[in-house]
Amino acid sequence: MKKRLIYSCLLAGATLIAGCTKNFDAINTNPTKVNAEVFPPNFLLAQSQIKFSNSGYDQLLFQSMWSQSLACTYDYYGNGDKYVYAGSGRGYLERTWNTSYGAATLVDEMKNLIKGKAEFTNLDNVGTIMRMLILQRITDAYGDIPFSQEGQAKAGIVNPVFDTQQSIYTSMLSQLETATAALDVTKDKPSSDLFYNGDIAQWKKLGYSLMLKAAMRLTKVDPATAQKYAEKAYAGGTMASIADNAKVKADNANGNSNSDVNALLVKDDFREVRWSNTLISYMQSTSDPRVSAVAEISAGTGKAANEVQGPGINTAALQVGLPNGYDLNGGTTDVSKAPGYPGATPADPTVKDDVAAPVGKYSRPRFAVYDDRSRINMLYTYGESELLLAEAASRGWATGSAATHYANALAADIATIAQFSDAGAVPAGTITTYVAAHPLVAATALQQINMEYFVVTSTTFNFNETWANWRRSGFPVLTPVKYVGQFTDGSIPRRNPYPLGLPSTNAANYADAVSRLSGGDVFTARVWWDK
């Protein structure tokens, strides 16, 4: 990709812009301006998509383990696994804010460039949908955030107000409804779109699916609004198959490698990051065929073998999830004290200076599925949207058949793993049999739906969403980790604290936002919809 180079030229000013285009005279006429005639605004959409999708350590070190999708004995992951600061804890924690707003800024600039230009009407509405996708992640993590005044530095607003989350959701739903309805398949197509290659029909389905997700966040605090917009989304037309999954494929050869994979392939991470017992034990309890698709243990014994970045053994019966909250320090929280500890894999006598691998029998994310530096980042799936429709229908709302949506979701969620790698493919016959054996039961519908939401968002590495839906739904029922020196009161974090620089860079608006938090700017405060 060359988009980074192009946008760097834009930011650098008129001198470098002249070196990046042949249209020197037009630019030199007004050297402080860049417009759609001299800069292709479509490039900014793709740049925003790759930036936003590459969450890497910010979700791996925190949300992935707060939700007990992953677990780790390596102390660098103490932030998520044990709620204690470890490694570059605060720096990575702030990436959810910084990276997401950075992606939003690219969309803002794109929309500025095309403002008032009818030939970019679809791109403008796509930008609105993309902006809502980005800002929902930020408000879900932090609560009240800059929203209405976000991206307006050019207008002189450098200290934006923090809108209340309630007002943000009201605006998000309205903007999604307007922008999605305005998309027109007969008009322009985005020419640099990493989600759908400019397919407006698919963007329309994404817009309504995002409206559905935003609506369902409100089930605890405003069920009437949740029902209203869930029904509108269903009527408008949500995702229809896994071909509609919103994802971005990384491109390692051109400098856009997958940040999740970059993190997982660090030797210490690869050796010790494991699927959580919460996830694997649940999947095994339902004989989920995804167990062998997504999990493996090392193919050899000893520490050296567990550091070999290659395929392991994915036999379903051999998979064991690692309990959260354990370490390798030899004390009461040493992993050897964990209930059901399967034992270490012994040192390989043929390897010089090898030692035992204490977590060698615990299951890691499968190498062939998750560890390609050019693999996709999944942002939202058809299966997720079907689960949300199933929940809405279970609540008695006019969104179709709950049982049908749930069955659709199960089949889609299992098939989706193959979009990461062919190695994750589960035979169609196996999927059909599994779905038939696991129908939705009215008495346990909310639990079934949200446990499957836990599985699909975990196995697609969308841990920001796993954590958000756990807070909303209460599923899975998690047991908090108890450990010395926690930055919470022993409970699982409910939000991210704001970045450390805000009290000095936007003091008054930061203080106003914090005043609305019960308990202050802490991990245990709850965002508005999390009641």
DSSP 426-471: --HHHHHHHHHHS---GGGHHHHHHHHHHHHHHHTT-HHHHHHHHH
At residue 131, the pLDDT reads: 98
Distance CA 510, CA 317 (A): 51
Residue 444's closest CA among 404, 396, 391? 391
> To which residue do tokens 């060359």 refer?
2
pLDDT under 50: residue ranges of the chain: 1-31
Q: Which fold has domain 40-248+376-473?
A: 1.25.40
> For the chain, what percent of residues have pLDDT higher than 90?
91
> Six-digit token pair at 361?
């029998």
Q: pLDDT by residue (tens digit) across 175-224?
A: 999 999 999 999 999 999 999 999 999 999 999 999 999 999 999 999 99
At residue 10, the pLDDT reads: 38
Distance CA 523, CA 76 (A): 19
At residue 19, the pLDDT reads: 32
Distance CA 106, CA 443 (A): 46
Classify burial at 265, counting beta carbons within 10 Å of its beta carbon; exposed 0-12, middle 13-18, buried 19 or more. Answer: middle
Q: Which residues contact 225 (CB under 8 A, 6 or more apart)?
A: 170, 173, 215, 218
Looking at the chain, the domain(s) classified CATH 1.25.40.390 span: 40-248+376-473
Distance CA 238, CA 207 (A): 8
At residue 40, the pLDDT reads: 87
Residue 466's closest CA among 153, 28, 141? 141
Q: pLDDT by residue (tens digit) across 460-473?
A: 999 999 999 999 99
At residue 91, the pLDDT reads: 87
